[in-house]
Structure 1
Amino acid sequence: MDNNIKVCVIDDDEVFQYTIFHTLEAHTSVAKIIPFTDGAEAMNFFNEYIDNHIELPDIVFLDVNMPVMDGYRFMDEYIKIIPKISKKITIYILSSSVDLVDFEKTKMIKEVSDYIVKPIRDNQLTKILAEI
């Protein structure tokens, strides 16, 4: 695999961010990791680089429960800007929530590829990166 995948991690959990960063860095296909601690920071980034497909990520790992703007509010805003984005971005919900309400709510968002309960296993991550 080429070293060219840009991954965006939107999660307020410092331990999870540390863990996924080191896991992602071990994958030679990952060129850049773009971190955010809430959906609002991430949305500002997406709006700033909306016309720059080189800076935008290829994949987003999005937490559900975060301060300021949670994952679902982020998705509401993201869906509004999709027509302006010139790049396909794959989004996965990564959450520690095992609440059936969250599973069902995520199923209703067609722009989300899957709901993964934390922690993500390396074989899951390898498969996701291979599909990009």
Structure 2
Amino acid sequence: MKKQRYMLVDDDDTNNMICKYTIKRFDRDAEVKMFTMPEDGLASIKGEYIIGHETLPTVLFLDINMPSMTGWGFLEVFMQFDECVKNQFTIYILSSSIEDFTEKAKIYPFIQGFLSKPLKVTNLERVRKQMVES
């Protein structure tokens, strides 16, 4: 069985480490990539998912409020990728903001949900259940 892949795009190193720790507690064989710069995350997707012939189903946890590029800016670029690339991702907004992003998220049909920081094992259980059901 293939390892589950996770990608974290958040400018907060501490949050990324907490997420990685939580993911590894949930699934010790998981592959976790962390990016503090959204542009680096997009470059990684462009390099790995577009060039590669193998599909790499990935759960992406995306922060919204980042200094160099917001999560919304990230999603604007992500939307321009080929369908075969976008279809490999299950995206969740992971935010400490209390702002309600529900309306804005309707623009991005590939957003599966919103999770509050810090990421919890119960969130990961819910994510896995949603992936199995879809």
Q: TM-score range by the shorter chain?
A: 0.7 to 0.9
Give the alignment's TM-score, normalised by structure 2.
Answer: 0.83
Unmatched segments (≥5 aa) in structure 2: none
Gaps in structure 1 of 5+ consecutive residues: none
Q: TM-score, with normalisation over the residues of structure 1? A: 0.84
Which residues in structure 2 correspond to 1:45-56 (within 5 Å)? 45-49=44-48, 50-52=50-52, 54=54, 56=56
The corresponding residue for 1:63 is: 63
Q: By how many angstroms is 1:104 displaced?
A: 2.3
The runs of at least 4 aligned residues of structure 1 exceeding 6 Å deviation read none
In angstroms, what is the RMSD of aligned CA positions?
A: 2.2
Letter in 2 for 1:32: E
C-alpha distance in 2, partners of 1:45/1:7?
A: 13
Residue 112 (structure 1) aligned with residue 111 (structure 2)? yes
Equivalenced residues, count: 130
**Alpha-carbon deviation of 1:128?**
0.8
Q: State the secondary structure of the residue aligned to 1:91.
A: strand
SS in 2 for 1:26: helix
Alpha carbons 2:58, 2:89 under 8 Å: kept: yes
Identical counterparts, % of pairs: 26
Distance verdict in 2 for CA 1:20–1:79, change over 3 Å: same
Look up the match of 2:77: 77
> For 1:30 and 1:80, how far apart are their aligned partners in 2?
31
